[in-house]
Chain A
């Protein structure tokens, strides 16, 4: 469903990623792994419309997204759980979730989405009126995922959802990601913790210094000794 074809994104003069191509099939769970500073966040932000693309193509179900205004990406069915969560900290949990369903089509199904999110993360129901900034790290991650689910996405982008979370919480979050994916939502997961990502993904990309260094099924990648050594220690 998603085709990223040889895109380049730069900050100033220096390209952060170039010639990057990835594909995600409908309902597929794909991951991008790689070291710090490889351009993983730049890639996922470009797909969410947070960065403009200098060269290459970005297509969702054959529709070209690269010329769309930034606020139109969500309407195409893309929602992001950004790096560092980036919640609206001064606003309540409920308001954060409502903003997830800001676009008209999602707004119509807001009550239903809210029920679903609170079903997945019961703790959020108890905290609905609390400012998002007062939640614990794990709860904030749940809210960031919940906010993205409120948008009723067809493609969910997750940037380092495990960062800064206790191991037990990480496992819970991964379970939820698998559950969302099982519900038919395609997922692109960006992770520095390659072991975690490769465990649940059906297709994986290794990004190094702004370029795709390897791709394939997790099993195939793990069969390559240098990748095993670099990412699994």
Chain B
């Protein structure tokens, strides 16, 4: 086995961190709604891709990609709240939410295919061209934006849950919703708020997908396994968990690719998940 050069190693490390940030950003909403509301929202990935396609569409119409957030975030917030309202209305259990949202994923996928066809779509934007050179390493602006947004949203969610009254009430709901209600917490209202936020996070992740990747409807499923791994590794409902775990997975994948062959990368992330689950079984 030939050792890779330092530059290659550094570049792998960087790309591992950046892809890890996207895993984290995609996992954030999934982890919060799973950990706090006991809803495993598979449709989170489809929502992110819907967001990506909307960004593509709006940017194609001349909007700045970052400005599309002003449209996408409120719309997705409403969509997430509506989805939660429906799931709560029919009191869907955690396991059944997995099935229902799987169905929803198929519907959103079909919708995307119907509107944008199954052809590959690539967003053209000024951001995509910008690259910085640091030392011997290249950093692309879209990747940097992804890392910045993942960091900002994860930290904001952490600070909200840790330091505000509503955030603490949200954690109390996760532990014992009826008792939280007995102390005056509006469980329904706050659950709607959190679901809305989670969907809005999916919208932001969608923007990042559109900035860095070529879009195709089938790609929805490509992210599922590894993001679930990041969510579980990070601890359900932990707002910083998906980002930290995502970066650990991203870096170990990138290093595996640099040292061996790209085909080994998924093996590493899932072995990591299995080892952690065995070592700390109380994690989920």
Which residues of A are interface residues toward B (Cβ below 8 A)?
A: 48-50, 69-75, 79-80, 82, 86, 88-91, 95, 98-100, 102-103, 106-107, 147, 151
Mark out the residues of chain B between 161 and 210 whose CB falls within 8 Å of any chain A CB in the assembled complex.
Answer: 165, 168-169, 171-172, 175-176, 178-187
**Shortest CB–CB separation between residue A39 and chain B, in angstroms?**
18
Interchain CB contact under 8 A, A80 and B175: no
- Which among B178, B185, B187 is the interface contact of A99 at CB below 8 angstroms? B185
Across the interface, name the chain B residue whose C-beta is closest to A151.
Answer: B183
Residues of B near any A CB (own CB < 8 A):
165, 168-169, 171-172, 175-176, 178-187
Nearest CB of chain A from residue B160's CB, rounded to whole Å: 14
Residue from B165, B168, B171, B186 within 8 A of A71 (CB atoms): B186
**Interchain CB contact (< 8 A) of A88 among B171, B182, B187:** B171
Contact A89 B169 (CB under 8 A): no
Instruction: Tell me which residues across on chain A come within 8 A of B187, comparing CB atoms.
Output: 70-71
**Which of A69, A89, A90, A100 is in CB contact (< 8 Å) with B183?**
A100
Q: Is the CB of B184 within 8 A of A71?
A: yes
Cβ contact of B176, chosen from A69, A79, A86, cutoff 8 A = A86
Is A73 touching B182 in the complex (CB atoms < 8 A)?
yes
| Minimum Cβ distance to chain B for residue A40 (Å) | 17
B175 touches A103 (CB 8 A): no
A71 to B186, CA, bound (A): 6
Contact of B172 among A48, A73, A99 (CB under 8 A): A99
Contact check, B182 vs A99: say whether CB atoms are below 8 A apart: no
Please give 20 more A-B residue pairs, beta carbons under 8 A apart, in addition to A79-B183, A82-B182, A88-B179: A48-B182, A71-B185, A71-B186, A72-B184, A74-B182, A74-B184, A75-B184, A86-B179, A88-B172, A88-B175, A90-B171, A91-B171, A91-B172, A95-B168, A95-B171, A98-B168, A99-B168, A102-B169, A103-B183, A103-B184
